[in-house]
Structure 1
Amino acid sequence: MGTPIPERIARHCADAVDDHADRLVELAGSLHAEPELAFAEHRSAEKISGLLEREGFAVERGTAGLDTAFVARAGSGPLTVAFCAEYDALPGIGHACGHNLIAASSVGAGLALRDVADELGLTVLVVGTPAEEEGGGKIVMLDAGVFDDVALAMMAHPAPIDVAAPRPLALAEWEIRYRGTPSHSAMAPHLGVNAADALTVAEVAIGVGRQHLEPEQLVHGIVTHGGDAPNVVPADTRAVYDMRAPDVGSLERLQARVRRCIEAGAVATGCSFEITAAPDYAELRHDPWLSATYRDAILELGRTLLPPEQERVLPAGSTDMGNVSLVVPSIHPAIGVESGGAVNHQPEFTAACVGPSADRAVGDAAVAMARTTAAAAVSDEQRERFLTRTR
């Protein structure tokens, strides 16, 4: 490891996680068994915050005006670390992104450092961040000042393989709605203004435009409402589209292109349209020193990491942790689980997020994040660098 930590501290981190292993496994399994969607994770938030409260953390619930957000605090040192816990699931397929494991590993990291926080000059936060899959809970909390005093932040995300520094993309999500005029599809179709046609024109324009997208730009979407009856000219249609790009500048250019496609549907049919935008997710930027230190720590635990040159070309999703990383030095490594070839957001990955491999991932991620934080605390140079951010 770039900055060695005292063997006693390193051993304490591992022993503390091992001592709490049963509770962490039980937490991950309980979250998995009762998946909840974005901004409605009431049972999940209470399970996590309740455990931390019972373990001596001071817990603030309803943080940033979000019912299912919380901040749990231990220690009183000047260097504040935030372990971000996610716990929202996906519609229909539950914890197919493994947020149950994210929550448990962040709790584990917090518990690993709780008893040595003051010795290391740390304030340890476990920050409950709802709605990563949809809505951007971290963005709301960032805007509300929750991360203002945080010097470094981290979390570990389950994946089919271990990756020290994956490259999540910037993301914009739009709900598109066209409004036209209904009419009888046989008796008087000429009196109708067809909102389904508007959506079709937009989809075709987006589809043929993919040839001209910039590198790493992606567009994908679904129709959520296409009409009510085949004998009525559709007057109200809706779709949701995601746009991804390597950085926020590229994302802005992509949004402008897609908006023109949406406008084309309205111009071609005479419909009106409206766009409802969710908060934009920024690309994620790993702090190089934290990332290298985590890499050393996870390798010491016997894991095999993807080589750095392959990290740069590995396909990635998106996360609201990106917004945090543009403000707070952060890492967001991927912790591998045995998934039989399944990837995130597949039902088979849901099944992989419980069991022995998932349990090991929770413990290893917790220990590696705790040791990475301890290394930052004992390095005079890095400690000063991180503290400068909060002054």
Structure 2
Amino acid sequence: MSTTLADGVRDAAGRATDTILRLSHDLHAHPEIAWEEVRSCARVAGDLADAGFAIEENYAGLPTAFAARRGSGPLHLAVCAEYDALPGLGHACGHNVIAAISTGAALALAPYVDDLGITLSVLGTPAEEGGGGKIEMLDRGGFGGVHAAAMVHPGPVDVARAEPYAVSHSHIRYDGKAAHAAAYPDRGVNAADAFTVAQVAIGLLRQQLPHGVRVHGIMTSGGEAPNAIPQRTEGRWYVRAGSLAELDGLEQRVNRCFEAGAWATGCELTITPESKPYAEFRNDDALLDLYVRRAEERGRRFSTGADSLMNRASTDMGNVSQRIAAIHPYIGIDSLPAVNHQPEFAAAAVTAAADRAVVDGAAALALTLLDAATDTGTRRRLIDPEGGPS
């Protein structure tokens, strides 16, 4: 690989520093939840448009998705930018950092796409937090022609290998019948009781679940007044397992707990998927090795201890990895004792340590894709995974 090209990418990454740090802080200050990321989508796409990327809005028919492209080479590399926030918690998973890293990597590689013989895409991917935006994009052809996709996710510490759970997301609703809770309780059908029965059943089921399975959720609506039998209750529940195959059977067992609540109380039960299930992740080990080397050159150190468990969090990038080569390493923002999905982590996502993660992550990711494009074996494998004539 040309040292001159690597030095050029490093220099371009350095020149992009102010742009991507402003982007990270601006997204953080204006959080938008899944499928509502209108401003965030436009903000990320705008920085790329200013750098000469061709922008396709409403990408794959999704209003808060975009594709930004440079080059027309035979090897098509994509970086994914997430920018949705969590309801009530803002950027407590640090997606502002993700978007800034992916943008920075693209800005660093952009001057060299012709030299490298690549098509470079930044895919703005909405609704990772439970909405399955990447799955919708996959199903609509949004990753068509892409040979490899990559992104870097913040966590408390650096972790190289993504090992997320497969997960299903369900909306639960019980419909009963309202009545005066003191005068006519016998004329009511208590939807809150149905949820209580279901949660007790799930709690008992956990003893019989395989190690590592996760079942958790919240009630989002539990009644209107204490003197009225609740007519309707609603909630959101996740079931996580090691693979989609394992998840399928486990989800049926959990759903029977919700059915028990309906049978016990006489309520009607409606279970509605909130998205298609997220798959387990398939790491491209060769690409991941390239990233680790480039990150360590930046002084990053990878953890395998108890604080490194963010790599088990579910992601719709898992579905992407089942179809094309992909990596999803984690970069630390020195947030401990705060961890992802805590308000304190949201605060940590715009600290000096988070800014350093943005800069390091962008450079390391850009150099990883540079290495993939210039290594003959890796390039050939990505373009033709089946090993046909090059």
Q: Could you tell me the TM-score, scaled by structure 2's length?
A: 0.96
8 Å Cα contact 1:163/1:311 also seen in 2: no
How many residue pairs end up in the alignment? 386
Structure 1 position 315, deviation (Å) = 6.3
Q: 1:287 and 2:276 equivalent?
A: no
Match for 1:140: what amino acid? E
8 Å Cα contact 1:328/1:389 also seen in 2: no
- Corresponding residue number in structure 2 for 1:255: 251
Distance 2:260 2:237 in 1: 16
- Corresponding residue number in structure 1 for 2:176: 180
Q: 1:56 and 2:52 equivalent?
A: yes
Distance 2:307 2:21 in 1: 29
Structure 1 position 314, deviation (Å) = 6.8
- Corresponding residue number in structure 1 for 2:302: 305
Structure 1 position 387, deviation (Å) = 0.6
Structure 2, unmatched stretches of 5+, are none
Q: Identical aligned pairs, as a percentage?
A: 50
Q: 1:382 and 2:383 equivalent?
A: no
Distance 1:74 1:313 in 2: 35
8 Å Cα contact 2:159/2:308 also seen in 1: no
Distance 1:85 1:314, change over 3 A: closer
Structure 1 position 182, deviation (Å) = 1.6
8 Å Cα contact 2:173/2:233 also seen in 1: yes
Q: Could you tell me the TM-score, scaled by structure 1's length?
A: 0.95
Structure 1 position 134, deviation (Å) = 2.5
Structure 1 position 346, deviation (Å) = 0.8
Candidates 356, 361, 367, aligned match of 1:365? 361
- Corresponding residue number in structure 1 for 2:208: 212
SS of equivalent to 2:60:
helix
Match for 2:248: what amino acid? E
Distance 2:314 2:108 in 1: 28
Please list, as runs of the form range in 1=range in 2, the aligned pairs for 1:82-121 lying within 5 A after superposition: 82-121=78-117
Per-residue deviation, residues 31-60 of structure 1 (Å, max 9, x unmatched): 111111111111111111011011000000
Structure 1 position 173, deviation (Å) = 0.9
- Corresponding residue number in structure 2 for 1:23: 19
Please list, as runs of the form range in 1=range in 2, the aligned pairs for 1:150-229 lying within 5 A after superposition: 150-229=146-225
Match for 1:230: what amino acid? P
Match for 1:262: what amino acid? F
- Corresponding residue number in structure 2 for 1:69: 65
8 Å Cα contact 1:166/1:312 also seen in 2: no
Q: Tell me whether 298-307 or 139-148 shows the greater mean CA deviation.
A: 298-307
Structure 1 position 365, deviation (Å) = 0.9
8 Å Cα contact 1:335/1:365 also seen in 2: yes
Distance 1:313 1:185, change over 3 A: closer
SS of equivalent to 1:286:
coil
8 Å Cα contact 2:94/2:153 also seen in 1: yes
SS of equivalent to 1:96:
coil
Candidates 265, 285, 296, aligned match of 1:269? 265
8 Å Cα contact 1:167/1:311 also seen in 2: no
Q: Tell me whether 145-154 or 347-356 shows the greater mean CA deviation.
A: 347-356
8 Å Cα contact 2:157/2:308 also seen in 1: no
Q: List structure 1 runs of 4+ shifted beyond 3 angstroms.
A: 309-315
Q: What's the C-alpha RMSD, in Å, of the aligned pairs?
A: 1.7
8 Å Cα contact 2:156/2:308 also seen in 1: no
